[in-house]
Amino acid sequence: MAATGASSEQVPVRAFGGPTALIEYGGLRFLTDPTFDAPGTYPSGLAKTAPASAAPADLGPIDVVLLSHDEHDDNLDTTGRTLLADAPLTLTTPGGAGRLGGTARPLKDWESIELDRPDGGTITVTGVPALHGPGAREDLEPIVGEVVGFVLSGDGLPTVYISGDNAQLSLVREIADRFGPVDTAVLFAGAVRTDVLDRALLTLDSAQAAEAARVLGARRIVPVHFDSWAHFTEGREQLVDAFTAAGLIDRVELA
């Protein structure tokens, strides 16, 4: 199911389970939502069911952590918090940057930061909207917290979209209008449902992930955030079925 072509070689993506992936882009190494704890149940009630496929020590140097949000254990766990202390830069929500301190920097919706590439030139990281459930921002965020997605771009580089825990396709359409088509879409899926919002979807389900990829015009699709946690209600099988039904399975990379 691996996509082929120069762009996929230019942007290696390694998924480690849950929402955690390493993206090598423009000479920098970006890590999404670090979760490396052993399986177990957290005081929040969330239960991790499988270990990550690598440990932080196996990753090599990380230049930037792209943290969609800091308030849920399945996006930032205890080991992940330790990793942040060694990261030169963490980009996250305004509230998360305030809570984390250190090298964490806030990215508001549509705000960008320029990062120097090792061999010259720059990478632009843009914060893009994400909402962790259905409904209006002012109703959701007091319950589930802020979330941010990211777009990576640069001269001569393909565009990469990282969704974070976004559950609303309307926001994907806004992002596609500004940045589409994208080369690589890293889509947080899993059809998360908890009692926090009466079992409403807190992330994309598999069919919505396929629709997001279609809207974005993504040449390459890397689903994450669909395994290793008990509250994820759809996994690999449902993703394969949904992307097959959408005629996009040849663009999908599943670890």
Specify which residues 89 forms β-bridges with.
Answer: 64
Which tokens go with 126? 């843009």
Does position 21 have pLDDT exceeding 70, yes or no?
A: yes
d(CA 111, CA 143): 24
Kindly report the pTM of this predicted structure.
Answer: 0.94
Average pLDDT over residues 145-154: 96
- pLDDT-derived band at 1 (thresholds 50, 70, 90) equals very low
Which letter, b or e, does each residue of 51-85 get, where b requires 16 or more Cβ atoms within 10 Å of its Cβ?
ebeeebeebeebbbbbbbbbbbbbbbbeebeebbe
Average pLDDT over residues 61-84: 96
Which tokens go with 48? 């991790």
C-alpha torsion sign, points 239, 243, 246, 252: positive
Does position 28 have pLDDT exceeding 80, yes or no?
A: yes
Average pLDDT over residues 127-132: 96
Does position 52 have pLDDT exceeding 90, yes or no?
A: yes
Domains and CATH numbers, the chain: 6-39+49-251 (3.60.15.10)
Percent of the chain past pLDDT 70, that is, above it, reads: 96
d(CA 116, CA 126): 14
Does position 75 have pLDDT exceeding 50, yes or no?
A: yes
* Average pLDDT along the chain: 93
Does position 30 have pLDDT exceeding 90, yes or no?
A: yes
Strands 89-92 and 104-106: parallel
Average pLDDT over residues 131-153: 93
pLDDT score for 196:
81
Torsion of CA 176, 180, 183, 188, to 10 degrees: 0
Average pLDDT over residues 137-153: 93
